[in-house]
Amino acid sequence: MRETGKPEAGKPGAGTPEAGTSEMGGSEAGSAVEAGVEDLAQAADRLFYAMRRSRAATVGQSGVGLSMSQLALLDPLARDAEGDGLPVGRLAAAAEVSVPTATRMLQQLEAKGVITRRRSPQDERQVLVRLTEEGAERLTAMRTELRARQYGALSQFTPQERRTLAAQLHRLTGMISATIPGAPGTPGAP
C-alpha cells in the first residue's frame, strides 16, 4: 500500500472502489441486490412479452375469430355460464378497458352471435351480458388452443419444477399487484 492508504496498481483491490462500496457510492451488497432485482425484472418482462406473442400467434392462426382483447372481455362470462349474466362494468374492469370500449366490443360480439345483452330486471340501467352457445363453443376452442401451446412449453419442466415455478409466479403476481395503487388488497383499495 502507498502512504495514501490506497492499494498500489497491480495489487489486490487496485482500481476498484473501497471494499463495501460501489462506483455509485452504494454498498456492494446493495448493488448485488439491485442487479438481482434488475435481472428478475427483465426476465419477468421477457416472460410477459413471450406470453403475449405466443397468445397473439395462437389467435392469428386460429379460425375461432376472437381477439385477445375480446377473450379478456369474455373470460368472466365463461365462469358465469349458469348465471343471469354479468354487467358490462364488471366485464370492462376484468378486461382493464373503459366501459365505452367494452360496450363497443360487446356490440361487435353480439353482431357475431357470441353474446347476448339484455337489461337487468332488477335495475333497468344495467345491461347484463351472457355467452351464447356458439360464443361458449368459440371461447372454449380458443382457450383449448392457447392451453395446448402453453402445455407444450411448460411440460418441459419436471413436476417439481412446475410446482415450484407456479408457487413463485403466484407470489410474484401478488407482489406486483400490491404495487398498484387502489388494487384489491392494497391500502386505499375499495
Q: Which regions in the chain score pLDDT beneath 70?
A: 1-30, 32-33, 63, 183-190
Q: Residue type at 64?
A: V
- The three cell numbers of residue 134 are 356458439
Q: Return d(Cα 160, Cα 162) in angstroms, integer.
A: 5
Query: Can you give the pTM of this predicted structure?
Result: 0.62
**Ranges of each domain in the chain:** 66-168
Nearest to 54 by CA among 140, 118, 146: 146
**Domain 66-168 has what CATH class?**
mainly alpha
Q: Return d(Cα 22, Cα 14) in angstroms, integer.
A: 14
pLDDT tens string 148-172: 989 999 999 999 999 999 999 999 9
CB-based burial, 98-112: b 16+ in 10 Å, e otherwise: eeeebbebbeebeee
